[in-house]
Amino acid sequence: SQQGEEDPQALSIQEGENATMNCSYKTSINNLQWYRQNSGRGLVHLILIRSNEREKHSGRLRVTLDTSKKSSSLLITASRAADTASYFCATQTSGSRLTFGEGTQLTVNP
């Protein structure tokens, strides 16, 4: 079963709006990572948040982590058409395995 599950599966917004994607997981983690994938291409790392952190920012990206609810959110502010991609959360436990969710397909309409 998937450790990380993203919600929603698909999201369509207008340029300039904010996009929020959520990720839930089942077991305790060491860190949670968000990746972006343009169609059929390799994943690109966006942000890593450790289990003792609650919020991180990187440019227009804001990630929160609530370990009590076993959930994380990725917020993209002032979205652009170039943000159109699939976004994946991945959780890493005390071992070395990294488990990905199925992703959220974000479409930003010009």
Partner 1 sequence: EAQVTQNPRYLITVTGKKLTVTCSQNMNHEYMSWYRQDPGLGLRQIYYSMNVEVTDKGDVPEGYKVSRKEKRNFPLILESPSPNQTSLYFCASSPDRGRDQYFGPGTRLLVL
Question: Of residues 92, 105, 106, 108, which one binds partner 1 by CB under 8 A?
Answer: 92
Residue closer to partner 1, measured from CB, 26 or 45: 45
Residue closer to partner 1, measured from CB, 87 or 108: 87
Distance CA 38, CA 49 (A): 22
Residue closer to partner 1, measured from CB, 13 or 98: 98
Residues linked to residue 88 through DSSP beta bridges, in sequence order: 35
Does the footprint of partner 1 cover residue 42 (CB under 8 A)?
Answer: yes
Distance CA 2, CA 33 (A): 15
The candidate with the shortest Cα–Cα distance to 31, out of 45, 20, 13, 17, is 45
Ranges within 71-90 binding partner 1 (CB under 8 A): 88, 90
Cβ(22)–Cβ(6) below 8 Å: yes
For 71, phi then psi, to 5°, come to -150, 155
Does the footprint of partner 1 cover residue 101 (CB under 8 A)?
Answer: yes
Cβ(72)–Cβ(49) below 8 Å: yes
Does the footprint of partner 1 cover residue 27 (CB under 8 A)?
Answer: no
Residue closer to partner 1, measured from CB, 7 or 15: 7
Q: Which residues bind partner 1 (CB under 8 A)?
A: 2, 30-31, 33, 35, 40-45, 48, 88, 90, 92, 95-103
